Amino acid sequence: MQELQVTVDENRFEQEVIYYLEKMDITEEKVRLTKHLEYFLETLNGKEANGRKLGFISQEMGREINTMGSKSNHAEMQKLVVRMKDELEKIKEQVLNVL
C-alpha cells in the first residue's frame, strides 16, 4: 500500500481556519441586537408616541436575527432564530397598531 504525501502550507491553512471561524462568529450581531432591544424598550417607555421609530428599530432587529440565522450551522440555534423571528413578527403587528 502506498502512502499519500501531502504538504500543507501552514500559513494558508491558518488563514482559512480564521476566515471560517470569523464567518460563523455571531458576537457582533448579538451585541447589535442587544443594543436594538435596549433602544426599543427605551423608545417604548418614552413619553412620545413613536410608532414609526419602533418600526425602524424592529426592522434592524430583524436584520440582526436573519444574519445570525444565516451564519448558524447548529440546529438548536436555527430553532432559536425561528422563535425570535416569530416573536419579532408579533412585535411588528403591535407596532402597526401604534402607528
Query: Which triple of cell numbers denotes residue 53?
Result: 421609530
Res 60: pLDDT: 97
Answer whether 71's CB lies under 8 Å from 23's CB.
Answer: yes
Q: How far is CA 6 from CA 2, 3, 9, 14, 92, in A?
A: 13, 10, 10, 16, 55
Q: What is the pTM of this model?
A: 0.79
Query: Which triple of cell numbers denotes residue 83?
Result: 422563535
Q: Identify the burial level of 51 via C-beta atoms within 10 angstroms of its C-beta, where 0-12 means exposed, 13-18 middle and 19 or more buried.
A: middle
| CA angle centred on 85, ends 79 and 86, rounded to 5° | 90
Q: What is the pLDDT of residues 13-40, one digit of tens each?
A: 899 888 888 888 999 999 999 999 999 9
Q: What is the pLDDT of residues 47-89, one digit of tens each?
A: 887 888 999 999 999 999 999 999 988 899 999 999 999 999 9
